[in-house]
Amino acid sequence: MIEKLSPFLQNIGITQLNEMQLEAITALEKNKNLLLLSPTGSGKTLAFLLPLFLRLDVDRKGVQAIVVVPSRELALQIEQVFKALQTGLKVTCCYGGHSAKIEASSLLNDAPTLIIATPGRLAFHIREGNFDVSSVRNLALDEFDKSLELGFEEEITFIVDELFKVDGMILTSATQFEELPAFIASREFFTLSFLKNEEHKPSFTTEIIQCKSKDKLRALLQLLCKYPNESTLVFCNFREATERVYDMLTDKGISAVVYHGGLDQQEREKALMKFRNGTSSVIVNTDLASRGLDIPDVQHVIHYQLPLNEESFIHRNGRTGRMKAEGLVHLLLSEEEYKPEYITDYTETDFEEKELPLPSATNWITFYIAAGKKDKISKMDIAGLFYKKAFLERDDLGMITLQDKMSYVAVKRDKAREALSKVKNEKIKGKKYRIGIDG
């Protein structure tokens, strides 16, 4: 089976799977149902997606498998991974905030082999009869514990009941279950647990910084100056706090973005895109960003506000020190706050205000192009424009992101102004589109 996967893994630059991924593939060769317990950042997506792919029949029409996830961001991430494998099989992603009409058209006109969806939107399409549920043989519930935590049990119960021909089911979770919900308890699951496997646990050191209440913002700013332009997640408990901290940081010239549930989908996607492509080095967020998002190479997690519980603390910290990298976790405590008992391994310092230079601008800046996948624009078209017309070298061009009607590309900041002057009036595939610098 592994040999069959090799060419697809090469498409995403992977030469060797980790132990968990290999064991998951083997387990699903021998068992219909799998419960996979593994920490954040351990490679769960490939661990369930690869064996799911092996169960698909390339010659059979109709929807064969569905992946249900708790968030739109996770749905888009898994869709991106599946497309990058270049299997040749159609996938449709369905989630709130996206056009249900476009999704229905994709499902009805040329049914995909794989659907990736959030619970509410998938339940909608099932009720509308937008695809034949009798063709579905495999169901994966990714971040299943998070879906239950967010209150999706009713929708998932409906989905499981409606998909009456499902033979195999995969559940993934970053936390241990005491018992499975009643609607799936009748199935026998083979369990793989890597929750205590040290190889996959995030590796980080924890620093507690004692501040006077009025000094928290200053302590945060000083930390960001101490580690200039290193990728950092700043966690707050409430949207209002994220906005307040974000405003302070940007007023000081810090290249930050904000991410919370009060933003619309486009704003959230743009914030993540700018963080991933290096335009912004700091993302100020609520716990919405603590699970299910693909944010690689995070060097620092700063708890500006205390997490509400130990589970939240674990998942926040799971964003850093991933895949054997080292990370730093910083906890800012005011005079009125006390260290939670579950934090046992840490160093402690008192905040002393120092004059540190503010970080310089990041190395990258984001360009927007008012055209996307719906306009038949590809990443190669965009790269070609900047290579040929702006005379940029490969190292001058960063991550390219395609959306339905917009595209974004990271350009080295010191080349950006000249590049803009050379490409803003150029055409792509014979048509002129608006091109500019985003923010």
Neighbour count for residue 287 (Cβ, 10 Å): 18
Asked if 411 and 397 count as a contact pair (C-beta separation under 8 A), the reply is yes
Fold of the 2-193 domain: Rossmann fold (3.40.50)
Task: State the Cα–Cα distance between residues 331 and 206, nearest whole angstrom.
Answer: 8
Name the segment(s) of the chain with CATH classification 3.30.70.330.
Answer: 364-437
Token pair listed for 253: 């010239």
Name the segment(s) of the chain with CATH classification 3.40.50.300.
Answer: 2-193, 203-350
pTM of the model as a whole: 0.61
Token pair listed for 271: 């914030």
Task: State the Cα–Cα distance between residues 234 and 347, nearest whole angstrom.
Answer: 19
Task: State the Cα–Cα distance between residues 214 and 251, nearest whole angstrom.
Answer: 18
- Helix, strand or coil for residue 10? helix
Angle at 66 between CA 60 and CA 70, to 5 degrees: 165
In this prediction, residue 174 carries a pLDDT of 84
CATH superfamily placement of domain 364-437: RRM (RNA recognition motif) domain (3.30.70.330)
- pLDDT tens per residue across all 439 residues of the chain: 667 888 888 887 777 888 889 999 999 998 999 999 987 767 889 999 999 999 999 899 999 999 999 998 899 989 989 998 999 999 999 999 899 999 999 999 989 999 999 999 999 999 999 999 999 999 999 999 888 888 899 999 999 999 999 999 999 998 887 778 877 877 889 999 888 654 445 567 889 999 886 778 999 999 999 999 999 999 999 999 999 999 999 999 999 999 987 888 788 889 989 998 999 999 999 887 766 565 667 889 999 999 888 878 887 887 665 544 568 999 999 988 888 888 888 888 888 888 889 999 999 999 999 999 899 999 899 999 999 999 999 899 999 988 889 999 999 999 999 999 999 999 999 999 999 999 6
CATH of domain 203-350: 3.40.50.300
CA 228 to chain centre: 24
In this prediction, residue 354 carries a pLDDT of 84
Q: At what angle do helices 44-54 and 2-11 cross, to 10 degrees?
A: 120
Task: State the Cα–Cα distance between residues 184 and 193, nearest whole angstrom.
Answer: 19
Q: Residue 157's closest CA among 107, 132, 120, 125?
A: 120
Q: Residue 318's closest CA among 172, 197, 200, 144?
A: 200
